[in-house]
Amino acid sequence: MFARLPDEYRRAAPDNEWARYQPQGGPATSLLEGPSIDRDGTLWCVDLPNGRVYRITPDGTFHVAAEYDGWPNGLKFHEDGRIFIADYKHGIMEMDPVNGHVRPFLTRAGLAPFKGCNDLFFASNGDLYFTDQGLTGLHDPTGRLFRLTAAGRLECLLSNVPSPNGLVMNLSESMVYLAVTRGNCVWRVPLSPDGGVAKVGVYVQLSGGWGGPDGLALDVDGRLFIAHVGMGAVWVVDAMGEPVYRIRTCAEAHTTNVAFGGADGRTLYITESGSGSILAARLDRPGRPMFSHAERNGAVRPGGKGA
């Protein structure tokens, strides 16, 4: 146990609007998600029904960095320090980590609003991949995977996903690993030379739990870490998809997402939303560096700034 959200912060009404339309059994008064590490090594996360972004100090203390009228679901840092939020209510939001100001960044696909954005990931070239989940599932397999290029072009890569959730790219960035929660599996989404996708398939098929795979992360060896909601576990598979080991929760079963941190990058932080906790596991290998932590050489990347 690394940190636990104070009870006074878990104050959303049990029948709040977001929880009222979700399947029964999930956390309602708070839901920790989107763990991410800034360039200073500080852990951040979001609280969906309370519309908050938290900064967690090394001693495990939660500080409210932002509170706004939204449902933040995923969080990632840009290389220039900005925070990007996948907001289930509004779309993709942008936050200043210094003053806590949150503003819309991308709220529509053309003229149509999103179903409900869930998670996001930056490729090394600055392209932003994000999932549009809404209430999709096997009954309505219309969830979407989007890419917003560093040049500002929005592309829909998939539109037939039964509940797209967490996502991460493989080491060579030739494919996207996509958590498909209601299918209880992780898809592999190969990228074709023209930028499209082809031969999408199942990479890992899970079973059990009452939810499915949620957040994903990758280590330096290309091993995939899969937070399994309702199973109380993080599954680890190698680059071939073969199981390596399982990390069991020491709290409740709502393991929603994961992020690598610590001084050597070998600490895996796990958001467990049933107890409102963040768990920590020490691993044998560090996580793959994120776009936000890429070395800067003075060059200006699209959408970023030089050192």
| Arithmetic mean of pLDDT, 220-239 | 97
Q: Which two tokens stand for residue 290?
A: 């994120």
Confidence class for position 307, pLDDT limits 50, 70, 90: very low
pLDDT at 300 over 50: no
Q: Is 50 exposed, middle or buried (0-12, 13-18, 19+ CB in 10 A)?
A: buried
Return d(Cα 278, Cα 1) in angstroms, integer: 6
Question: Phi/psi of residue 68, each to 5°?
Answer: -150, 170
Tokens of 136: 């999709």
Q: Which two tokens stand for residue 18?
A: 């977001």
Q: Is residue 65 helix, strand or coil?
A: strand
Q: For 252, what's the count of Cα atoms within 13 Å in the CB-facing half-sphere?
A: 18
Handedness of CA 164, 268, 279, 59 (dihedral sign): negative
Which whole number is the average pLDDT over 159-166? 98
Token pair in block for residue 195: 């930028």
Looking at the predicted structure, is the pLDDT value of residue 58 above 70? Answer: yes
Domains of the chain by range and CATH?
Answer: 3-293 (2.120.10.30)
Band of residue 21 on the pLDDT scale cut at 50, 70, 90 = confident
Tell me: pLDDT of 212 over 80. Answer: yes
Q: What is the pLDDT of residue 26?
A: 75
pLDDT above 70 covers a percentage of the chain that reads: 96
**Cβ atoms of residues 60 and 105 within 8 Å:** no
Average pLDDT of the segment spanning 24-34: 85
Q: CA angle, 206 as apex, 291 and 290 as ends, to 5°? A: 5
- In 3-state terms, what secondary structure has residue 17? helix
Binding site members for a divalent metal cation: 33, 165, 214
For residue 222, the model assigns a pLDDT of: 97
| 279 vs 23, higher pLDDT | 279
**β-bridge pairing 62-67 and 164-169:** unpaired
How many residues are given for the chain? 307
User: Which residues make up each annotated binding site for substrate?
Assistant: 118
Annotated binding site: 33, 118, 165, 214
State residue 43's pLDDT score.
98
Which residue's entry shows tokens 């937070």?
227
CA angle 65/68/73 to nearest 5° reads 80
Look at residue 163 in the predicted model and tell me its pLDDT. Answer: 98
The answer to whether the predicted template modeling score (pTM) of the entire model surpasses 0.75 is yes
* Residue pLDDT, tens place only, 73-123: 999 999 999 999 999 999 999 999 999 999 999 999 999 999 999 999 999
Task: With residue 79 as reference, give the H or E element that holds it.
Answer: none
What are the distances in angstroms from CA 282 to CA 48, 176, 263, 295?
A: 27, 26, 12, 25
Averaged pLDDT for residues 117-142 = 97
Q: Which amino acid is at 165?
A: N
Let me know: does 292 contact 79? Beta carbons within 8 Å: yes
Catalytic annotation, residues: 214
Contact 54, 47 (CB under 8 A): yes
Tell the residue number behind the tokens 């996207």, with chain if given: 176
Amino acid 109: pLDDT: 95
Position 295 scores a pLDDT of 63
Q: 197: which DSSP letter?
A: B
What pLDDT does 220 receive?
97
Share of the chain above pLDDT 90, in %: 86
Does residue 48 register a pLDDT over 50?
Answer: yes
Mean pLDDT taken over the chain: 93
